[in-house]
Amino acid sequence: MLSAHVRSRRHHRRAAAIVEMAMVLPVFMLVTMGIIEFGRALWVANMVTNASREGTRMAILDGSSNAQVISAVRDFLESSLSVSGSDIDIDITITAAEGNPNPGNECVAANTRDLIEVKVAIPFNKVSLVPGNYLEDKLIVGRSAMRHE
């Protein structure tokens, strides 16, 4: 049979383990949630870049309009990120190639070799897993540029 001294030591050690866990668990959970949130941010950034790339691919084709490009990018992000279309900011910039007339940032008016850039931005707090406005003013931005065909 165990002596009273050995049983007392086991009881004190069990209490110490509970106290240690109570001190370490919140820090561990905070670090774990930070890792998950950072991973989500990287995934969202990749999706935003892919959306801008898909929009640019559409914009460089003859007959594409700005409205079609914006609609395609919004649809892509709404379906993949479950984010509201009103939270997505899409800018299309067309830089005329040397010797070409200014297309006025209209995809339909773009000529061969004009540089078309599509920039997509989403506020981080709209795609964050952790509720709160701690990064409310931070944007996740994706850009892509291609020459008109």
pLDDT in tens, 2-30: 565 555 566 667 778 888 899 999 999 99
pLDDT band of residue 128 (cuts 50, 70, 90) is: confident
Q: Provide the domain limits for residue 85.
A: 4-147
Task: Tell me if 115 sits within 8 A of 147, measured CB to CB.
Answer: yes
* Whole-number Å distance between alpha carbons of 45 and 122: 9
Q: What is the mean pLDDT of the chain?
A: 89
* Closest to 72 (Cα-Cα) out of 60, 86, 55: 55
Residue 34, judged by CB atoms within 10 A of its CB (0-12, 13-18, 19+), counts as exposed
Determine which of 10-14, 52-56, 67-71 has the lowest per-residue pLDDT on average. 10-14
pLDDT band of residue 66 (cuts 50, 70, 90) is: very high
- What is the domain count for the chain? 1
b/e sequence 58-95, b meaning 16+ C-beta within 10 Å = bbbeeebebebbbebbbebbeeebebeeebbebebebe
Residue 120, judged by CB atoms within 10 A of its CB (0-12, 13-18, 19+), counts as buried
What angle separates helix 66-81 from helix 4-59, to the nearest 10 degrees?
Answer: 160
144 pLDDT exceeds 80? yes
**Range 102-124 average pLDDT:** 93
* Whole-number Å distance between alpha carbons of 12 and 1: 19
Residue 56, judged by CB atoms within 10 A of its CB (0-12, 13-18, 19+), counts as buried
**pLDDT value for 137:** 80
Residue 137: what are its φ and ψ, rounded to 5°? -90, 5
- pTM of the shown model: 0.81
**Range 60-74 average pLDDT:** 94
